[in-house]
Chain A
Amino acid sequence: METEEINYELRLYVAGKTAKSATALSNLKKYCEEHLKGQYAIEVIDLLVKPQLAEGDQIFAIPTLVRKVPEPIRKIIGDLSNEEKVLVGLDIRPR
């Protein structure tokens, strides 16, 4: 995993600057820096600004983290406070 290729495309859906959203984003950044340095891209989508995007990724809970790449798509909802679960959810760590 030493290549500079972006293996992980992550999208974080939030709704405004709520505490939960902020926690989720900071948690996510922390895990990614730790485990996926250099091979990830995070896109933050604020549904208050772009509500039409909610349908496409089947978002109903906030915050939701969507792993677009690699397939299959995976979703993690919540403020991502449990590192173990997030890493398993993103298939970074084997179950």
Chain B
Amino acid sequence: MSKVIDHAPLYLLSSEHMPPTDGRLIGARFQWFGSDSESRYQAAPHPVFKPDDVSYHFNAQGYRCPEFAQDKIDKELTVVAIGASEVLGTGLPEDQVFGHLFARRLENHLQRPIKYFNLGMGGASADYVSRTLASALPVLKPDIVLLVFPYYGRREHINSLGKVFLFNSQDAGVRLKNRFIDPENHSQIKAHVTLSSDYNDQMNFYKNYLFCEMLCERQQVSWLYSATRVAFFKHIQHLINPKQLVSRCLGDLKSKYQDEPSIGLGRDLVHPGSAPHKEVADDFFENFNRLYADKFGIY
């Protein structure tokens, strides 16, 4: 077997390096990203967000956050959030994404500096969440971890050359396009479709959740988790830790604002907007307060 663990460029399961996300994002700055594209905006402009209102700045490892290698300030706390595009904040300015809002609210409340690292990645899966957490804990040494589990039918696959493929069982349309544009991706997707089943999805989802729960408990970090939709946890209710669950989820809250796309949706008119993100940030804060007030001297 070739040596793949803790090796450049992927730094899989490294306890010294954060794994890079996507090579195209390293140090990049974009005005448009993913589903938040210029062509989509021109076809259906957001009522509030203009082209210059949202930009995406990625650090040297391809995450939408500050560089990791920064000295810790006295009494500073570190918060990381891991998940998919909702966590990354597709369609929103950085300072309106729930993780950022949570960090700022906590900063005001504790009167302590808070450093926030957004480890969201578009299209990511529970596989990505657990893999990233495995490195984030020893490398970034966060005090607080916020996890948002994406759709359970998603998977991550890394081929023998270290190329990462993201699979989403809901994405039937992309599959046909990929057959001609990206045949290698297409064969991976075909294999995933063959192996996709409710059993496998639920097992994989639970295993990743359990892996994350165990790592957080072992590291004794303060942690909370949610999902794009709370229904993802429906079948594993008896297995998950209810105390840490933030049950009002970004995807579910979108429907609350379906008549107000200006605040219900991001600039791409697909992802959750500023209002769901603010509500989720508040929920994360309330849950955090409930569980960890004593630990952090919150009164």
Q: Do A and B bind each other?
A: no
Q: Footprint of B on A, CB under 8 Å?
A: none
